[in-house]
Chain A
Amino acid sequence: MARPPFIAIGLLSACVLAYEVLLTRLFSIVLWHHYAYMIISAAMLGYGASGTALTLLRERIAPHFGATFVAAATALAVLMPAAFLLAQQVPFNPLELLWDSTQPAKLLAVYLLMMLPFFCGGLGIGLVFAQFGRQAARIYACDIAGAGFGSMGVIAVLYFVPPSQILTALTALTLLAASMAVVELKLRPKWLTELFTGLAVLAVAALPDIQVHPSTYKDLSQALNIAGSHVVEQRSSPLGQITVVENTRVPLRHAPGMSLNATMEPPPQLGVFIDGNGPSALTRFDGDLAPLAYLGQLTSALPYHALAAHGIKQPRVLVLGAGAGSDVLQALYHGSAAVDAVELDRSVSALVSDRFRDYAGHLYSQPGVHLYTAEARGFIGIGDRRYDLIQVALLDSFGTASAGLYGLSENYLYTVEALQAYLGRLTPDGMLAVTSWLALPPRDALKLFATAVSALERDGVNDPGARLAMIRGWKTVTLLVKNSAFTTGEIAAIREFCNTRSFDPAYYPGMHADEANRYNLLAQPYFHEGAVALLSPQRKEFIDRYKFHIEPATDDSPHFFRFFKWNSAAEIFSLRAQGGMPLLDWSYPLLVATLVQAVVASLLLILAPLALSKCRRTLPGTPVALYFLAIGFAFMFMEIAFIQKFVLFLSHPLHAIAVVLCAFLMFASAGSWLAGRWRAANKVTLAVIAIGALSLLYSTVLPYLFQALAFLPDMAKILISVALIAPLAMCMGVPFPTGMMRLADTSGNAIPWAWAINGFASVVGAVLATLLAIHLGFSAVILLAVMIYAVACAALRGFA
């Protein structure tokens, strides 16, 4: 038994990582995506906990290494679907977390259930490290190469197979890992190989698909409760599960914030839900524009009226986030000569252009309409066509802003740099229009206004106020940013548009304060006051004093939907009984809670062996713990920050994650393999110096390089990205196996403990990186990672 089960390790690692990615999708469908993040972060602690268990039980397990490895793999195979099925039985309702004192206990039950599979996976891999410590370099190489294949493989499969059907396939793959281990470890009886292979085949052939039960409070569940509704289409993609609902008895009638003066009813529509959230409307269109009159009664119709006042009656329009086509229909209704519709998710645009093309009146094939499947920033960054109007829907905020669900998400559509890029694609008199739901007190709208002011100032505009206009209805807000000063004719058109629809102007050049609060009365004209303050020299003071975070988002810290401020949290919480909780931006406190729970659990489980076990005397001291803690943190910081750096260049968040993560893991795997053969005594120090030099160089140079190479085709961009990541990742693959091998020479029994520490650091590091990026930006996270690697170098000197 001299050779570790390399193939089984790779397979097991692939299954665990694929399972993690899959759970993100499944919990996003069942609950909401930030709870998915919270649950999976806690579950991943099971990986670290396995190291603690190994530390405590190593002596008992070691004689039965082979059998334990196979048992761990088998348990993982069973627990992957079982834990998820059981977790769904726990009546956890996140919406009641602050109302119902039993909900935290239910959340804990979900955590514990979901930790079990990760515990088993970690146990199997940790066991191999413990048994074959001197071959750590090759084991680690297989481990992370498997992780790379697993996470990327599942993303690819998600394009074709719904997540509920993938779980059983993962069960089969894990059983194959068990089968492989029997062969590689030459275990007896030999028929175990056939047994596990047979079970794997049986799992695929006979196991039913896992039933996924979304929360009854999700929009889709509620829509399906209405008599007459039924699902007419369901599609899966890694970007989300798309469900199309039809109801001919009780039509959807989606006309967000339609003027109260309007008397028409929207035409028949299909509801399009993504991960059960929504809906957005796929509107029936037969070429007759008359039934679309309701689209002229929304605040988002404003730019067409302002452009018409300037003589641009047939504008050339770019719709970013075309989705199911409402904004394209609005453009056609207003006589646009050409409409370029950009949509990231092909599965969504295909509903309009393919599956429901007759229902949608061949919308994306109408004369002048062109559909592009692309990411908005990527599309804006290439090409030189100029538009009279760029329409951007604050898609993410629709329906979920009030619950503060998106604060964690990086979003490059609403940063200062994004607005500058949009303005760069407008004609000299063109306009950018962004519409969002109305939140009270204002949040998104004022943050967007502040972002626009910053973008104009960065473009050298001396009087940004002359180029901005904002109006509000009872439910939506629309911001206009013009490439030149608004004319008196345009201002008259804005006023007329508001008056005839009972909308209120929040800001336009030369506006009187008494116009701000006439139709939709607020306790104070918050929007107008905010806009005026943001254009005044006291802007910074206003932003500081405002109880929500409305500092403009930038590409380095692209968290547009984060509105949380610690100063206001206590006040909002004290207003709970008076219905104050919706004022809270939930995502940020949940991220902090995730970090706290991960840190507490990690400390307990890392310290447990020291406190409980007789092996505490034989465990190495602080330098070893610090080393594995530091390299765990630093690796995650680097990986997460660089994924974000490459997102803009690769023009697609999913492609960026796939390419960057895969490249990181594969080249780290190669680095690990080479580290095993590299005989230099100071190889970690050399690797860390290279990591520091490369990452700092990249931080400085990449923004310019990416801008210069934006014109390249996707494949060239991918190759360049891989080439840039390769040397960095190879160096990052050196410290972990080197430390393990050093430990194997000095105190082999501490290997599981070090494995546990590194596991915990990876989980805590992932959450902490996000939190730090929100406050300091991704460049600072990279700088911190370099400093932490330096700490690891120093700690390594204390190993002996």
Chain B
Amino acid sequence: MKRHFALGMFLCCCFAFPSQGSVFDEARHKMVEEILGDTSATQSPLSPAVIAAMEKVERHRFVPADFAARAYDNRPLPIGYGQTISQPFVVALMTDLMRVKAGDRVLEIGTGSGYQAAVLAEIAGSVYSIEIITPLGKEARERLVSLGYRNINTRVGDGYYGWPEAAPFDAIIVTAAASHVPPPLIRQLKPGGRIVIPLGAQFMTQYLMLVEKQLGGSVTTREILPVRFVPLTGGH
């Protein structure tokens, strides 16, 4: 009798409440819709590949367990060691700016939780990611392996010299703070390639810098505000 009661309760729970996975799926979908709303108001539309990647990558698996319930809020979250997982809106924007295509080879300096690498790996052929903080790098590696990302290569160490063995890269993202763009990274970027660098403090991406290497090898940058903000009242 007790066994039947227990089974009944279990089935009731299963049917009465959606599984945790589906709750996260729904939250993720809402998050992507929110990002699309924000980007349509401020930036050019996101590429379908970026939207698909944001829909697919389970952000709740990249945040500490305490923050899982808030994983799909459109906000940065702490991941320990004074580091954060970026705001999803900014991740989508940076990924879109990199213009990554299927088969591309991408370098990431600053693995963090591994979320950005996972989003890139959904689009690119291979991702090479370097983390300078040893425990973070090890955790991210284990996480990415357990989630089955076979096209992400991780390394713990100094990202200044890039990953020469895997160079040249179609795109590079530098999420680790730096006072200047390391010259080796520019050398390891293919002509026509792009480097994206978010600038600002933790929790505060001030603007994004896009470095574009022209086919002739010369380099230009674009400084991009994530928001549409005209500094004069009355506008231009």
Residues of A within 8 A of B (CB): 93, 95-96, 99-100, 215-218, 221-222, 225-227, 249-250, 253-258, 260-265, 402-403, 438-442, 474-475, 502, 518-524, 526, 542, 545-548, 567, 571-572, 575, 577-583
Contacts and interface: CB of A to CB of B under 8 A. Distances in A.
Contacts of B34: 577
A439 B206 CA distance: 8
A95 B201 contact: yes
B178 to A, nearest CB: 8
B205 interface: yes
Contacts of B87: 579
Contact of B158 (A96, A250, A581, A582): A250
Contacts of A502: 218-221
Given A264-B183, A578-B89, A93 B78 contact: yes
Contact of A99 (B41, B76, B205, B220): B76
17 contacts: A96-B78, A216-B80, A217-B202, A217-B203, A218-B82, A222-B177, A227-B132, A254-B179, A402-B200, A440-B223, A440-B225, A474-B223, A520-B223, A546-B231, A567-B233, A578-B89, A583-B229
Given A577-B74, A577-B89, A548 B220 contact: no
A475 B206 CA distance: 12
B167 interface: no
A254 B177 CA distance: 11
Given A222-B177, A475-B199, A577-B74, A260 B219 contact: yes
User: 4 smallest A-B Cβ distances: which pairs?
Assistant: A579-B226, A441-B231, A216-B82, A258-B180
Interface string B214-234: 000011111111111111111
A253 B218 CA distance: 23
B206 A440 contact: yes
Interface in B64-107: 74-76, 78, 80-83, 87, 89-90, 93
Nearest to A260: B219
Contacts of A221: 82
Q: Taking each of A221, A250, A253, A260, which has the highest tally of chain B beta carbons within 10 Å of its own beta carbon?
A: A260
A221 B41 CA distance: 37
A260 B221 contact: yes
B141 to A, nearest CB: 15
A577 B231 contact: no
B110 to A, nearest CB: 12
B219 A257 contact: no
Given A249-B158, A547-B233, A578 B199 contact: no
Given A226-B132, A253-B180, A260-B186, A583 B82 contact: no
Contacts of A522: 222-223
A402 B207 CA distance: 10
A598 B118 CA distance: 47
A524 B222 CA distance: 11
A727 to B, nearest CB: 48
Interface residues of A, dominant DSSP: loop
A261 B236 CA distance: 33
B47 interface: no
Given A216-B81, A257-B179, A542-B232, 18 more contacts: A95-B203, A96-B203, A217-B201, A225-B81, A225-B133, A253-B182, A255-B179, A260-B211, A441-B225, A441-B231, A442-B231, A475-B180, A520-B222, A547-B229, A577-B89, A579-B87, A580-B226, A583-B227
A253 B219 contact: no
A39 to B, nearest CB: 19
Contacts of B234: 545
Nearest to A249: B158
Contacts of A262: 180, 183
B233 A440 contact: no
B231 A520 contact: no
A260 B204 contact: no
B139 to A, nearest CB: 13
B160 interface: yes
A578 B233 contact: no
B33 interface: no
A100 B87 CA distance: 13
B19 interface: no
B56 to A, nearest CB: 22
Q: Taking each of A215, A438, A542, which has the highest tally of chain B beta carbons within 10 Å of its own beta carbon?
A: A438
A262 B203 CA distance: 30
A567 B231 CA distance: 12
Given A519-B221, A526-B231, A260 B78 contact: no
B32 to A, nearest CB: 13
Contacts of B209: 474
A548 B230 CA distance: 11
Nearest to A404: B204
B205 A579 contact: yes
B181 interface: yes
Contacts of B202: 95, 217
Given A225-B81, A475-B199, A579 B90 contact: yes
B226 to A, nearest CB: 4
Contact of A217 (B74, B82, B232): B82
A226 to B, nearest CB: 5
A474 B221 contact: yes
B88 to A, nearest CB: 10
A572 B228 CA distance: 10
Contacts of A253: 160, 178-180, 182
B134 A227 contact: yes
Given A93-B78, A440-B207, A256 B179 contact: yes
Contact of B231 (A250, A518, A547): A547
Given A95-B201, A521-B222, A575 B227 contact: yes
A249 B87 CA distance: 31
A466 to B, nearest CB: 26
Interface in B31-45: 34, 38-39, 41-42
A30 to B, nearest CB: 14
Contacts of A227: 132-134
Given A262-B183, A440-B223, A577-B89, A225 B82 contact: yes
A541 to B, nearest CB: 10
Contacts of A583: 227, 229
B206 A582 contact: yes
A475 B209 CA distance: 9
Interface in B167-186: 177-183, 186
Contacts of A521: 220-223
A520 B221 contact: yes
A159 B54 CA distance: 53
Interface string B16-41: 00000000000000000010001101
Contacts of B41: 578
Given A96-B203, A222-B177, A255-B180, A579 B227 contact: yes
A475 B178 CA distance: 11
Q: Taking each of A227, A575, A579, which has the highest tally of chain B beta carbons within 10 Å of its own beta carbon?
A: A579
A402 B133 contact: no
A58 to B, nearest CB: 47
A695 B236 CA distance: 48
B81 A402 contact: no
B31 to A, nearest CB: 11
Interface in B186-203: 186, 199-203
Contacts of A215: 82
A100 B34 CA distance: 18
B89 to A, nearest CB: 6
Given A217-B82, A221-B82, A545-B233, A226 B133 contact: yes
A578 B42 contact: yes
A580 B160 CA distance: 29
Contacts of B132: 226-227, 250
Contacts of A520: 220-223
A572 B229 contact: yes
Contacts of A440: 206-207, 223, 225
A217 B202 CA distance: 7
A542 B132 CA distance: 45
Contacts of B183: 262-265
